Structure 1
Amino acid sequence: MHHVDFEKLRMSGAGKAIAVLTSGGDAQGMNAAVRAVTRMGIYVGAKVYLIYEGYQGLVDGGDHIKVANWQSVTNIIQLGGTIIGSARCEAFTHRSGRLSAAFHLVQRGITNLCVCGGDGSLSGAHTLCSEWSGLLDELVQQGTHAVN
Structure 2
Amino acid sequence: MFSGWIWPPPRVLLRLPNRVRTDNFMISSGEDGSRLSLVHADGYQLSIWHLPTTSIDTNDWLLVHDKIHVREACSRLEHVLVMAVDDRLEFVFLWLRSSAVLMHMHLPSRSEKVYNELNVRDGYFLDINPFMMVWPPIFPALREQDSLEE
Rg (Cα) greater in structure: 2
- TM above 0.5, yes or no, is no
TM-score (norm 2): 0.25
Q: Between Structure 1 and Structure 2, which shows a larger proportion of strand residues?
A: 2
* Greater per-residue helix proportion: 1
